[in-house]
A = this chain, B = another copy of it.
Amino acid sequence: MFSTRSLTRSLRPLVSVRLFSTTHPCLGRAVVYTENGDPTSVLQILSYPPIPATPPPNSLNIKYLLSPINPADINVIEGVYPSKPTRTDSLGNSSGLGSEGHPVFIGGNEGLAEVTAVGQGADGMYKVGDWVVVTKQQSGTWMSERNIPAPDVARVPGGRAALTEAAGATLTVNPPTAYNMLHDFVKLEAGDWVIQNGANSAVGQAVIQIAAAEGYKTINLVRNRDNIDRLKDQLTKLGATHVLTYDDLTDKSTRDKIKQWTGGKPIRLGLNCVGGKETTLMARYLGQDAHLVSYGAMSKQPLSLPTSLFIFKNLTANGFWQSQWYKTRPSQERDKLMQKLVGYINAGKLQTPDHEILHITGNLSDEEATSAVREAFKKLSEGRYGKKILLKVD
Residues of A near any B CB (own CB < 8 A)? 82-83, 272, 275, 280, 294-297, 302-321, 324
Which 9 A-B pairs give the minimum distances between C-beta atoms? Answer: A310-B319, A297-B307, A317-B317, A311-B319, A82-B312, A304-B304, A294-B310, A302-B304, A275-B307
Q: Which residue of B lies closest to A295 (CB)?
A: B311
User: How far is it, in angstroms, between the C-alpha of A76 and the C-alpha of B80 when the chains are bound?
Assistant: 48
User: How far is it, in angstroms, between the C-alpha of A302 and the C-alpha of B302 when the chains are bound?
Assistant: 11
User: How far is it, in angstroms, between the C-alpha of A200 and the C-alpha of B297 when the chains are bound?
Assistant: 35
Q: Is the CB of B312 within 8 A of A321?
A: yes
User: How far is it, in angstroms, between the C-alpha of A318 and the C-alpha of B309 when the chains are bound?
Assistant: 9
Which B residues touch A315, using CB under 8 A? 319
User: How far is it, in angstroms, between the C-alpha of A143 and the C-alpha of B318 when the chains are bound?
Assistant: 43
- Cβ 8 A contact of A311, one of B302, B304, B320: B320
Which B residues touch A302, using CB under 8 A? 280, 304-307
Q: Is the CB of B304 within 8 A of A310?
A: no
User: How far is it, in angstroms, between the C-alpha of A385 and the C-alpha of B324 when the chains are bound?
Assistant: 51
Q: Which residue of B lies closest to A297 (CB)?
A: B307
Q: Is the CB of B314 within 8 A of A309?
A: no
List 16 A–B pairs whose Cβ atoms lie within 8 Å, in order of A's numbering.
A280-B302, A294-B307, A297-B308, A297-B311, A302-B306, A303-B306, A305-B317, A310-B319, A311-B319, A312-B319, A314-B319, A314-B321, A315-B319, A316-B316, A316-B318, A317-B317
User: How far is it, in angstroms, between the C-alpha of A310 and the C-alpha of B295 when the chains are bound?
Assistant: 8
Which B residues touch A305, using CB under 8 A? 302-304, 317
Q: How far is the CB of A91 from chain B (nearest CB, A)?
A: 29
User: How far is it, in angstroms, between the C-alpha of A303 and the C-alpha of B308 when the chains are bound?
Assistant: 10
User: How far is it, in angstroms, between the C-alpha of A296 and the C-alpha of B272 when the chains are bound?
Assistant: 24
Which B residues touch A309, using CB under 8 A? 319
- Cβ 8 A contact of A307, one of B296, B306, B311: B296
Q: Which residue of B lies closest to A274 (CB)?
A: B307
Q: Is the CB of A310 within 8 A of B303?
A: yes
Which B residues touch A314, using CB under 8 A? 319, 321, 324
Which B residues touch A296, using CB under 8 A? 307, 311
Residue of A295, A302, A321 with most partner-chain B CB within 10 A: A302
Q: How far is the CB of A179 from chain B (nearest CB, A)?
A: 17
A296-B307, A297-B308, A313-B319 are known; give 9 further A-B pairs, CB within 8 A. A275-B307, A294-B307, A294-B311, A302-B305, A302-B306, A303-B305, A311-B321, A312-B321, A314-B324
- Cβ 8 A contact of A310, one of B83, B311, B312, B317: B317
User: How far is it, in angstroms, between the C-alpha of A306 and the C-alpha of B310 when the chains are bound?
Assistant: 17
Q: Is the CB of B308 within 8 A of A82?
A: yes
Q: Which residue of B lies closest to A309 (CB)?
A: B319
Q: Which residue of B lies closest to A317 (CB)?
A: B317
Which B residues touch A308, using CB under 8 A? 82, 297
User: How far is it, in angstroms, between the C-alpha of A315 and the C-alpha of B324 when the chains are bound?
Assistant: 13
Q: Which residue of B lies closest to A293 (CB)?
A: B310
Which B residues touch A318, using CB under 8 A? 310, 316
Which B residues touch A275, using CB under 8 A? 307
Residue of A296, A302, A310 with most partner-chain B CB within 10 A: A310
Q: Which residue of B lies closest to A313 (CB)?
A: B319
Which B residues touch A280, using CB under 8 A? 302
Which B residues touch A294, using CB under 8 A? 307, 310-311
User: How far is it, in angstroms, between the C-alpha of A272 and the C-alpha of B307 when the chains are bound?
Assistant: 10
- Cβ 8 A contact of A319, one of B83, B303, B307: B307
User: How far is it, in angstroms, between the C-alpha of A309 and the C-alpha of B302 when the chains are bound?
Assistant: 10
Q: Is the CB of A317 within 8 A of B316?
A: yes
Residue of A82, A314, A319, A324 with most partner-chain B CB within 10 A: A319
Q: How far is the CB of A278 from chain B (nearest CB, A)?
A: 12
Which B residues touch A303, using CB under 8 A? 304-307, 310
